[in-house]
Amino acid sequence: MAGTDRFRPSVTVAAVIARGDRYLLVEEDTPEGLMLNNPAGHLELGESPIEAVVREALEETMRAFTPEAFLGVYLARFVRPARLEDVTYVRLAFSGAVGEEIAGRTLDEGIQRTLWMSETELAACVDRHRSPLVLQCVRDHASGRRLPLDTVFAHPSLTQPWIKD
């Protein structure tokens, strides 16, 4: 690749949570308006993908999330119209279960509410999806895709402080 620019995709995690035939989603404020998403967010420095998805699900749903399986690695490109920002997302999706809402917790900033929707209901409103990966992850879960959690390996060096010479 010519030049000094490196491709730097944005790494995110997502929780795909089902109860019967309904999926837990969040409705969130975005620069593009009020959109639907799986509970999801960015991987932060020093945390494993599993730690990140547990944290994001709690912040966005007020519910403790227990990952049970890895769904896969998903990529999508998004150009934000307002800023002409071009971002490629690498999403690590996990399926699992949640408990009831935890008393005293509040939804993360920007999250308006949580809601349960069927795959059919979700497919009927793709124009409101934060990403094309929202429905794809739900469809993969509904089809039975499950990979072992240890498919995602996080080396202990992730939590080591970085020492500059």
Residue with tokens 């109860």: 19
Sign of the alpha-carbon torsion through 139, 30, 126, 133: negative
Contact residues for 38 (Cβ-Cβ < 8 A; gap 6+) = 14, 15, 16, 17, 23, 25, 26, 93, 134, 137, 138
Taking alpha carbons only, the member of 121, 65, 123 closest to residue 97 is: 65
Q: What are the tens digits of pLDDT across the range 43-57?
A: 999 999 999 999 999
Q: What is the mean pLDDT of the chain?
A: 93
Q: What are the tens digits of pLDDT across the range 135-150?
A: 999 999 999 999 999 9
Q: What are the tens digits of pLDDT across the range 92-142?
A: 999 999 999 999 999 999 999 999 999 999 999 999 999 999 999 999 999
Taking alpha carbons only, the member of 3, 25, 7, 27 closest to residue 16 is: 25
User: Can you tell me the distance from the alpha carbon of 7 to that of 155, in angstroms, rounded to the nearest whole number?
Assistant: 23
Q: What are the tens digits of pLDDT across the range 62-89?
A: 999 999 999 999 999 988 777 788 889 9
Q: Domains plus CATH for the chain?
A: 10-100+107-146 (3.90.79.10)
